[in-house]
């Protein structure tokens, strides 16, 4: 029954993306290349709406079938719908950055409220953060993850491959921790993204758009927190799984801010963007992200979920090479962002 459920979600996302591509072409909703783009030809955008529809429908169906708790439907579904609506409107026109950010904080707060009492952030037997401090840190974590996913959705397939592999890892760490019921939600989101990836894998025939990137970041953050409620060590496991995007986006932002650039300014100085220009291929970089997630980060996350490795130690082991890669590929180095050959 579960496999039929997952297959149905995949088909809805795949067919929905195909329809949205036709809709975007008919309405001329195109992402036209500019100085900050990593693509060369106008491409339809907004395909992420199919992921939104497939996952939201899956939440409701799972709740009706008794497979998914109603709090998850209210939290993930409601907050995700708000972020998707903001992204949809921005894809079709323009919403000022301050209003988008306000909506992101509102949606993230909504999701946190659905958790009830937020558990303390622990490391082994020690409490790292608790109470209001933990709540505020987690709130900003969700907002940052939501926005960084938008920043990292800059070459063909990378956001889709990240979501699919992170969700597979999320399902695996829940299973390893003995929480078999915790595997369903990440699997549902992962297969929905697979359906979109059929059309977005390099060379992309449609882009995700803000409607999908913001939604994806919030859902992945929400899944990490729901897993944490069930088993505190899973927060560290999810942070490890999300390492490629977190490290590249964070290093890029810090370097740009320290160089005097406003954090909201459009650019193409992420490490993955430099890498795609260096190798002259989106596919190579996108596949590399998938390999890093599966071969490097996923085993470390599983070790943490099993208790074989301390969460903090696992995070450091995972992130140190990623920071090295970010430095190697000049994440945030504004001196080279406009050089097409680098």
Using the predicted structure, report yes or no on whether residue 216 has a pLDDT greater than 50: yes
- The string of pLDDT tens digits covering residues 144-175 is 999 999 999 999 999 999 999 999 999 999 99
Mean residue pLDDT of the chain comes to 91
Q: Residue 341 has what pLDDT?
A: 43
Task: Give a yes or no: residue 195 inside a domain.
Answer: yes
Residue with tokens 């989106």: 282
pTM of the model: 0.94
The single-letter DSSP state of residue 45 is -
Q: Would the pLDDT of 39 be above 80?
A: no
Nearest to 47 by CA among 211, 214, 163: 211
Quick: pLDDT tens for 82-122: 999 999 998 887 888 889 999 999 999 999 988 877 777 77
133, 118 Cβ separation under 8 angstroms: no
Does residue 341 fall inside a structural domain?
Answer: no
Whether 342 is in a domain gets the answer no
For residue 65, being part of any structural domain is answered with: yes
DSSP symbols for 56-124: HHHHHHHHHTTSS-HHHIIIIIHHHHHHHHHHHHHHHS---HHHHHHHHHHHHHHHHHHT-SPPPEEET
Whether 19 is in a domain gets the answer: yes
The answer to whether residue 150 is domain-embedded is: yes
Residue 128: pLDDT above 90? no
Q: What is the DSSP letter of 182?
A: G
Give me the mean pLDDT over the 201-230 stretch: 95
Between CA 159 and CA 214 the distance in angstroms is: 11
In a domain? residue 259: yes
Q: Of 154, 156, 206, which Cα lies nearest the Cα of 37?
A: 154
306 found inside a domain: yes
Cβ distance 220 to 38 under 8 Å? no
The pLDDT score that the predictor gives to residue 34 is 62
In the chain, the number of structural domains is 1
For position 181, what pLDDT does the model report? 83
Residue 199, helix vs strand vs coil: helix
Domain span including residue 74: 2-336
For residue 276, the tally of other CB atoms under 10 A from its CB is 25
Return the pLDDT at 265. 80
- Give the separation between CA 337 and CA 238, rounded to whole angstroms: 30
The average pLDDT across 205-224 equals 96
């Amino acid at each position: 029954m579960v496999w039929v459920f997952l297959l149905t979600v995949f088909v809805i996302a795949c067919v929905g993306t195909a329809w949205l591509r036709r809709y975007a072409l008919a309405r001329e909703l195109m992402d036209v290349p500019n100085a900050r783009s990593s693509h060369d030809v106008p491409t339809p955008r907004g395909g992420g709406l199919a992921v939104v529809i497939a996952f939201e429908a899956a939440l409701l169906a799972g709740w009706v079938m008794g497979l998914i708790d109603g709090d998850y439907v209210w939290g993930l579904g409601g907050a995700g719908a708000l972020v998707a609506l903001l992204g949809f409107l921005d894809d079709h026109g323009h919403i000022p950055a301050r209003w988008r950010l306000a909506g992101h904080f509102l949606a993230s707060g909504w999701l946190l409220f659905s958790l009830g009492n937020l558990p303390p952030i622990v490391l082994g037997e020690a409490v790292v953060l608790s109470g209001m401090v933990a709540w505020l840190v987690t709130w900003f974590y969700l907002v940052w993850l939501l926005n960084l996913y938008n920043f990292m959705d800059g070459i063909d397939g990378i956001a889709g491959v990240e979501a699919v592999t992170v969700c597979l890892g999320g399902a695996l760490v829940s299973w390893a921790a003995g929480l078999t019921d915790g595997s369903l939600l990440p699997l549902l989101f992962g297969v929905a993204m697979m359906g979109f990836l059929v059309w977005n894998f390099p060379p992309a025939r449609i882009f995700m758009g803000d409607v999908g990137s913001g939604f994806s970041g919030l859902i992945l953050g929400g899944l990490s927190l729901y897993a944490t409620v069930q088993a505190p060590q899973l927060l560290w496991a999810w942070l490890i799984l999300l390492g490629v995007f977190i490290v590249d986006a964070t290093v890029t932002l810090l370097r740009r801010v320290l160089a005097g650039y406003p954090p909201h300014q459009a650019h193409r100085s992420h490490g993955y963007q430099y890498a795609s220009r260096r190798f002259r291929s989106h596919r190579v970089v996108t596949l590399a992200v998938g390999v890093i997630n599966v071969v490097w980060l996923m085993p470390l996350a599983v070790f943490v979920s099993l208790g074989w490795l301390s969460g903090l130690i696992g995070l450091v082991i995972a992130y140190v090479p990623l920071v090295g890669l970010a430095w190697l590929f000049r994440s945030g180095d504004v001196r080279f962002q406009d050089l097409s050959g680098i």
